[in-house]
Amino acid sequence: MGLCYSRNTSSVKDDEIPVEQPSQTPRLASIPQSPVPSEVNSYASSPFQSPLPAGVAPSPARTPGRKFKWPFPPPSPAKPIMAALRRRRGAPPRPRDEPIPEDSEDVDGVGGERLDKNFGFGKNMEGKYEMGKEVGRGHFGHTCWAKAKKGKMKGQTVAVKIISKAKMTSALSIEDVRREVKLLKALSGHKHMVKFYDVYEDNDNVYVVMELCEGGELLDRILARGGKYPEVDAKRILVQILSATAFFHLQGVVHRDLKPENFLFTSRNEDAVLKVIDFGLSDFIRYDQRLNDVVGSAYYVAPEVLHRSYSTEADMWSIGVISYILLCGSRPFYGRTESAIFRCVLRANPNFEDMPWPSISPTGKDFVKRLLNKDHRKRMTAAQALAHPWLRDENPGLLLDFSVYKLVRSYIRASPFRRSALKALAKAIPDEELVFLKAQFMLLDPKDGGLSLNNFTTALTRYATDAMMESKLPDILNTMQPLVQKKLDFEEFCAAGVSVYQLEALEEWEQIATSAFEHFEQEGNRVISVQELAGILFSSLPTKLPPRSDPLSPKKLSCSSPFTASLSVSSIGRLTNSRRKLSEVKSMSTEKALVVCGSGKAEAVEAALKKTGDCEWTSPVLLFGFVGSGSGADASIGVNYGTLANNLPPPRQVAEFLLHSTVINRIRLFNADPQILQAFAHTGVAVTVTISNDQIPHLTNLSFAQRWISDHIQPHFPSTNIIRILVGNEVISTANHLLIRNLVPAMQSLHTALVSASLHRRIQISTPHSLGILSHTTPPSSARFRQGYDTHVLKPLLSFLRTIASPFVVNPYPFFGYSPETLDFALFRTNPGLFDQDTKLHYTNMFDAQLDSVYSAMERLGFSDVAIVVGEIGWPSKGDKDQIGVDVATAAEFNRKVMDRVNSGTGTPLMPNRTFETYIFALFNENLKPGPVSERNFGLFRSDLIPVYDIGILRPTVRASDPPENNRRSPVGGSSGKRWCVTKSGAETEALQRNIDYVCGLGLDCEPIIEGGPCFLPNTVEAHSAYAMNLFYQTMGRHEFDCDFDKTGEITSIDPSYGDCQYQAEFV
């Protein structure tokens, strides 16, 4: 049963428009079972060279043995290579004694246990349907014609997708089938979605009964028309594609494989209805979630998919590719290999100059360009695309757009400044662009001309399906509670629903921004006065500004050159030259507004930035940006929570402290301590747990792995947000043959246990490595993994990580790689840097060089697409006597700069524009750690929760308030009623030098920071500037605005004094 008549499938010629099929890659190894040794702590000698110097012991669950010389980096373009089949097949191998082979066959499960392939579907497929010939074939199954024998559908022809159970070689592939059936059932009913009728199974196959579409694929129609469509026909096709896409996006479903082959016509008629099919790679996605597994078809994959961070916008890119093909008959991105296609997608721009594009209408060309924008934030949604002027004549039925919910949510939680800025921009939007917002406003069914929370709730409920419930999209309503008391009229709805990113993609952006500028500029002199801005934004502001002794304080914001002006309640009008593009200025702290003035022309801006003094601009551009949080760590920054101490506070107190007093929302544990996991329940903090090295051999047994998940994870998940399990710690550095040999099998077995518990989509598996896994490191492009470990351990490991979409975790420590000569290189200070002759890239800091070294080594093995996570990085605040570069100020400097570097999004020379999930080592100073003094002093906090120093992770309310009563005894932890002015994290060195020159030029006592003075060391601009800025702040009366210093200063209650260097402070 289940077989149907096959047909001959014709191959597509090279000059047609075929989609290159993903190449098959070897599956993960299956290895015969070997008994688990009883002596799990037995350190057998390794057949490979140890990555650590002789006499250096491996470090278990503690700061790793970091013996790595400073020169390290590597190169390579982003070559994300992974297609659908690669990630969905293969089962974890069993432990073995011999080296891990690179190629082998899949096995059915792990440890000899068979997978449960019983889905609980109906069993009588043969009795209800008569099977016919094969009508289609895909990656995961084939489709046959069939006719119903009885029941309501008797005599009706249908399509039956047959999925062989023999191909379900892992629990993951079984889960994929369940999800596809669930999706088809939930989405069935929309005009352009293929209808789902029923699902059956027998011992050999799963049978999905669907609507039979006899008109063939969209690809066949394109080829039959000579490779392209006339505009009028292309519009009719795209309206149908967008209608279906807008529907399933509203349900929280991302298709991930939209291409002409996955659209079928219901009949051979020219006006036949088009339907979307094949949800085998589709997934549910929450409104605040981004996916990271690379799936889809090479020619249609979006750039952000290759960067492993994407949402529904990836489908819109695929539709953009389809649009391009429909209109011009060729692909926008081409390559002979998959990796070449990916490079083209990432680096090349579509050609809109050659024929037939000059003959395509301007609106048609604009439509395609707005879908193929590499910045996913500027891309149109499906609902927006339906409202585009090019499609308006087709009278497309508009659908509610969930992106409006996210924008409104952001608007009602924003500052008064941002809301005022958005209102100004909304008033300047052209009428054509308002069509979409008008339609969305009406779809929300306003009452008495306004929208309340009830309108948003009712509208979402109207469109809800089981898919929407699975994606948990209605949860966003819980974050929109201010609308219970407030209504949005149409004008304010436009302000809330406008996307600044999408406005920037419009050709009219400069005119829109200029018009918004004029909303604030009321005197007609092309200059915004502080009083004008304050009158609009802060009605409670005094009209008379407080007197300032600072000569930089202006009365008006004039367009003398492109600048940013910082405006706050206490400090208004301080000017700061900026080299940011106008459209990139996006973040300010809670009470601050941002005004940018300039010509809007890149060339003019560059010229003006080279000038000093005044110049005049007659076409100002106003741009507003605001982020509600003040200074602090980004979501990419976490902290390692080590417990090798006898004086640490209880876990619940630690959890409450991190949650309420810091902005840290990620922690990494070196165990799976149930008390800690329970303490972090319902906090939302993302938790990574670690399994100790001695458990690795046992984990190769599936039953043991399942028990471990059952005992340590399931009692706490999902109340505790466990996101990742790390198997061991720096296992390769132990040089233990037993542990190294069983590392990958243990990880695979643990992943299978997660799949069995249906936790594999929520919890990742990985293992951290020291940089001792590298051999050649200088120049960065020459970096490679140590011989022996590369092919036998790291290649299978990286292949497995790619398959399950998990990151490669490394522990780079510049602290263990610097010398006195390279200290500035390690600390991100001004230094000659490191030049890579092979790539012609220049490295200005050791952190970038280390990460690029790892990347180069991965690239040599063909795994440059696997994401990198920084598992540990830090700098001690105390070391052995006379140890250079080890003190509180240097530790604070290093960790602040790491945080700034990671959060900047600039990436590294070889990995540009990337943000790395990074965990600072460590949360506490741990007094029981062995080794030198520095090992016990990596902590950001002492055991009594008093900061050793602040790197910007304390919440502003904590930073500005008195420390707890029981914490006042510390000379560095804070003194009741005292305040200091210090440099803000991320401040530019040039600006800090100007601060020193200004303060010391006033005649204030700067002797302590002159050579020989108590505050001369560390001899850095940052440290000297902090002393000078505090001196000015204390001398001038400790007003908040006296610590502004062009936005480079901030007030703290934590005493920055150290050693003999005492910072002046008085009670306030």
User: Which residues contribute to the annotated binding site for ATP?
Assistant: 161
Which residues pair with residue 161 across a beta bridge?
143, 208
Q: What is the DSSP string of 468-519?
A: HHHHTGGGGGGG-GGGGT--EEHHHHHHHH--HHHHHTSTTHHHHHHHHHHH
Which residues pair with residue 924 across a beta bridge?
941
For the annotated binding site, the residues are 161
Cβ neighbours of residue 190 closer than 8 Å, sequence gap 6 or more:
243, 244, 247, 248
958: left (phi over 0), alpha (psi -120 to 50) or beta: alpha
Closest alpha carbon to 1060 in 1001, 1011, 1031, 1017: 1017
CB atoms within 10 A of CB 539: 8
Closest alpha carbon to 227 in 19, 372, 390, 15: 15
Q: Give the rounded distance of the alpha carbon of 820 from its chain centre.
A: 36
CB 948 within 8 A of CB 939: yes
What 451-456 contacts at long range (C-beta under 8 Å, 24+ apart), as own/partner pairs, is: 451/483, 451/487, 451/488, 451/493, 452/483, 452/484, 452/486, 452/487, 453/477, 453/480, 453/481, 453/483, 453/484, 456/405, 456/408, 456/480, 456/483
| C-alpha span between 323 and 15 (Å, rounded) | 19
Active centre residues (catalytic)? 257
Tokens 């036949």 -> residue: 272
* Structure tokens, 550: 């600072």
| C-alpha span between 906 and 1035 (Å, rounded) | 39
| C-alpha span between 508 and 370 (Å, rounded) | 14
Closest alpha carbon to 780 in 844, 835, 862, 845: 835
| C-alpha span between 59 and 665 (Å, rounded) | 27
Q: What is the DSSP string of 99-139?
A: PPPS-----SSSTTPPP------BS-HHHHEEEEEEEEE-S
Q: What is the DSSP letter of 69?
A: -
Q: Coil, helix or strand for 750?
A: helix
Q: What are the C-alpha distances in Å from 1029 to residues 998, 1012, 1053, 1059?
A: 9, 20, 15, 19
Cβ neighbours of residue 921 closer than 8 Å, sequence gap 6 or more:
63, 639, 640, 642, 811, 872, 873, 874, 938
CB 530 within 8 A of CB 545: yes
Closest alpha carbon to 640 in 976, 925, 1055: 925
Taking each helix axis from N to C terminus, what angle separates 402-412 and 453-462, rounded to the nearest 10 degrees? 160
CB 366 within 8 A of CB 324: no
Which residues pair with residue 451 across a beta bridge?
488
| C-alpha span between 966 and 944 (Å, rounded) | 9
The sheet with strand 722-727 has its strands ordered as: 764-766, 722-727, 686-691, 666-669, 637-641, 918-920, 868-873, 808-811, 768-770
Q: What are phi and psi of 529, to 5 degrees?
A: -80, 160
Taking each helix axis from N to C terminus, what angle separates 989-1001 and 1021-1035, rounded to the nearest 10 degrees? 40
CB 87 within 8 A of CB 139: no
Closest alpha carbon to 1008 in 958, 1060, 933, 970: 1060
CB 188 within 8 A of CB 239: no
